[in-house]
């Protein structure tokens, strides 16, 4: 099942330069390995879409085809309605930021930023002024004369971002640009990328394997698996209403609770009958009910059928690790005030929420 949901209206800068981008029926194989299997995906003008998925899902191949570094075996690549499948990478008006920075070591920060402009024939003064403007935009004012070896990893990546923006691209592509940075710098630069993208209004595609990064940055997240699109939706929708069991378990933490399908489109799990989201399997089918940690209430009870194994304090929330008498491992998130009464060793009962639940084939567990 795939989903490429319509995009909610979003705020962009008045001088937004983004253009619509479309991948339609894109296929790419390397020998006997299919990297993309008929990928359909639309990007709205000024939108930031994160391509998320496990290694080998095809997200980087999709990005390289957009950039012009790879050629699709089949399908269309449209930018502002124009098919650019046969247009060379250097003529697509695309800016790209790589994981490895890829700065020229013998050039200063300003020279690196202005390199693309120089190739396009811009004068020295224009390049110098544009470089100073962009280096200030990415938080590096006064570093124009610094060489890459004089800058930290995070600063080098900011220079790489400024270089990508210098040529005023129609589309901006990021290939896991933050994965080589430490956690604090990664967070800071993530916020800077989002701020700059919103101000510039450039259509942006961001490839990452980090779900937190994708959910915090993007207008929509496209989850990919085996070269296909599983679901594309705003982060909140993706988390709360996953279209498939794969999306449910890949995005965020998910419990698999054994259940049995009953009549009326319901499933019985943890002693309760719950409505099934979507089509329910045949009555009597043994399934796994997918419940997030916050969808399970935990109540202290001396005769309860579960025991608290561990409590992890996370600020306003505490995550409890529980084990039922049947040996089932369950995670539940509670407000820390409530969790204070449930120390490791405490007996309790588990109560699922009342909403509709997604169910998965029991044989697909693990």
Q: What string of DSSP letters covers 263-310?
A: TTTEEEETTEEEEBSSS---TT-EEEEEE-GGGEEEEE-TT-SEEEEE
CA dihedral 95, 99, 100, 103 (to 10 degrees): 20
Q: What is the mean pLDDT of residues 248-276?
A: 95
What torsion, rounded to 10 degrees, do the Cα atoms 155, 156, 160, 165 define? 20
Q: How confident is the model at residue 7 (pLDDT cuts 50, 70, 90)?
A: very low
**pLDDT class for 166, splitting at 50, 70, 90?**
very high
Span of 72-86, 150-164, 351-365 with lowest mean pLDDT: 351-365
In tens, the pLDDT along 200-212 reads 899 999 999 999 9
- Residue 78: pLDDT band with limits 50, 70, 90: very high
346: left (phi > 0), else alpha (psi -120 to 50), else beta? beta
Q: From residue 78, how far is each of 40, 135, 311, 328 by CA, in Å?
A: 11, 31, 51, 49
What distance in Å separates the CA atoms of residue 215 and residue 175, rounded to the nearest whole number?
A: 16
Determine which of 180-184, 290-294, 351-355 has the lowest per-residue pLDDT on average.
180-184
pLDDT score at 26? 97
Instruction: Report how far residue 286's alpha carbon sits from residue 280's, in angstroms, rounded to the nearest whole number.
Output: 11
The pLDDT of residue 135: 95
The rounded distance, in Å, linking the Cα atoms of 85 and 74 is 10
Q: CB of 76 within 8 A of CB of 36?
A: no
Q: What is the mean pLDDT of residues 259-267?
A: 95
- The domains located in the chain, with CATH, are 21-248 (3.40.50.300), 253-364 (2.40.50.100)
| Count of C-beta atoms within a 10 Å radius of residue 216 | 14
pLDDT over 70 percentage in the chain:
94
């Amino acid at each position: 099942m795939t989903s490429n949901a319509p995009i909610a209206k979003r705020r962009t800068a008045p001088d937004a330069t983004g253009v619509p981008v479309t991948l339609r029926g894109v296929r790419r194989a390397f020998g006997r390995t299919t990297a993309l299997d008929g990928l359909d995906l639309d990007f709205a003008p000024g939108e930031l879409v994160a391509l998320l998925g496990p290694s080998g899902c095809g997200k980087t191949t999709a990005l390289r085809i957009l950039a012009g570094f790879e050629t699709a075996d089949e399908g269309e690549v449209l930018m502002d309605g124009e098919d650019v499948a046969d247009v060379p990478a250097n003529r697509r008006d695309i800016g790209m930021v790589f994981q490895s920075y890829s700065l020229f070591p013998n050039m200063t920060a300003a020279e690196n930023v202005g390199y693309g402009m120089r190739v396009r024939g811009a004068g020295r003064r224009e390049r110098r002024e544009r470089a100073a403007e962009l280096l200030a935009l990415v938080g590096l004012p006064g570093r124009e004369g610094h060489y890459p070896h004089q800058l930290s990893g995070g600063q080098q990546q900011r220079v790489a971002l400024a270089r990508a923006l210098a040529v005023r691209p129609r589309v901006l592509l990021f290939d896991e640009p933050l994965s080589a940075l430490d956690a604090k710098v990664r967070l800071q630069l993530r916020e800077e990328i989002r701020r700059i993208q919103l101000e510039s209004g450039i259509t942006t595609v961001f490839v990452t394997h980090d779900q937190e990064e994708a959910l915090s940055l993007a207008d929509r997240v496209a989850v990919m698996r085996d070269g296909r699109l599983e679901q594309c939706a705003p982060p909140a929708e993706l988390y709360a209403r996953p279209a498939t069991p794969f999306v449910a378990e890949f995005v965020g933490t998910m419990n698999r609770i054994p259940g049995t399908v009953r009549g009326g489109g319901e499933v019985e799990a943890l002693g309760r009958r719950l409505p099934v989201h979507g089509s329910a399997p045949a009555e009597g089918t043994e399934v796994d009910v997918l419940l997030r940690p916050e969808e399970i209430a935990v109540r202290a009870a001396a005769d309860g059928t579960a025991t608290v194994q561990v409590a992890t304090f996370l600020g306003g929330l505490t995550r409890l690790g529980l084990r039922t008498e049947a040996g089932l491992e369950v995670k539940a998130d509670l407000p820390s005030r409530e969790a204070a009464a449930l120390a490791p060793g405490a007996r309790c009962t588990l109560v699922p929420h009342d909403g509709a639940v997604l169910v998965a084939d029991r044989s697909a567990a693990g």
